[in-house]
Chain A
Amino acid sequence: GNSVTQMEGPVTLSEEAFLTINCTYTATGYPSLFWYVQYPGEGLQLLLKATKADDKGSNKGFEATYRKETTSFHLEKGSVQVSDSAVYFCALVLFGNEKLTFGTGTRLTIIP
């Protein structure tokens, strides 16, 4: 079956630190990959996506590259801000399947 494994949290960083949240996947086909972000008390928002190998998704200073050889889609940001404090979810979907499979989420807290 399909699955997504995320870096265990919680993660606490100081403002302006470099962020990496690891994500690896197992899929029976060729998935599209996503990062979603959930701010406190809110629903999930699509942060970025990549639909084929070596694609780089980017948004709001966050980046992730689809690595087929390592089945990974790690989320990175060069300099985090307090406003980046949220829960981050890695997810995949297979073309024609249309069901999102999520990782367990990583809670990120940025301290000033």
Chain B
Amino acid sequence: NAGVTQTPKFQVLKTGQSMTLQCAQDMNHEYMSWYRQDPGMGLRLIHYSVGAGITDQGEVPNGYNVSRSTTEDFPLRLLSAAPSQTSVYFCASSSGGNWGYTFGSGTRLTVV
């Protein structure tokens, strides 16, 4: 049981470059979310999805896009990377909020 798989684990980008962070889950969970983790700020919600074809913005959505074409996949796109997007990114999935979310192992992104 793989759970939530994120790729890549590490990435260095130059300012202005674009990239996609991949997230896949094999638990048939409806709900998926992307968070960023910054020192002293906990985890902040970027975007989330309540099912295939349905996405919405979280607390810090600017500079990021998402789509949910299948139940399994929820990629996060950085359109034009900025140093302020240097962070650790976590993807998570759940069958319903009361059950809690399962998290991936994270992607550490550095923008130079």
A22-34 Cβ-contact flags toward B at 8 Å (1 or 0): 0000000000101
Check if B33 sits within 8 Å of A104, measured CB to CB.
no
Residue in B closest to A32 when the chains form the complex, CB atoms: B98
Which A residues are CB-close (under 8 A) to B43? Answer: 44, 89, 100, 102
B27 within 8 A of A: no
A44 to B45, CA, bound (A): 14
Contact residues on A (Cβ < 8 Å of other chain), bracket:
20 to 34
Measured between C-beta atoms, what is the minimum distance from B33 to chain A in Å? 7
Contact residues on B (Cβ < 8 Å of other chain), bracket:
20 to 34
Check if B100 sits within 8 Å of A99, measured CB to CB.
no
Given known A-B contacts A43-B90, A103-B42, A98 and B105 have beta carbons under 8 A apart: no
Most chain B beta carbons < 10 A, residue from A36, A43, A93, A94:
A43
Check if A98 sits within 8 Å of B42, measured CB to CB.
no
Check if B97 sits within 8 Å of A97, measured CB to CB.
yes
Measured between C-beta atoms, what is the minimum distance from B46 to chain A in Å? 11
A51 to B58, CA, bound (A): 23
Q: Which of A43, A99, A105 contacts B45 (CB 8 A)?
A: A99
> 8 Å CB contacts to B: which residues of A20-60?
32, 34, 36, 42-46, 49, 51
A102 to B43, CA, bound (A): 6
Measured between C-beta atoms, what is the minimum distance from B21 to chain A in Å? 14
A18 within 8 A of B: no
Most chain A beta carbons < 10 A, residue from B42, B92, B94, B102:
B42
> 8 Å CB contacts to B: which residues of A68-110?
89, 93-105
Residue in B closest to A9 when the chains form the complex, CB atoms: B40
Residues of A within 8 A of B (CB): 32, 34, 36, 42-46, 49, 51, 89, 93-105
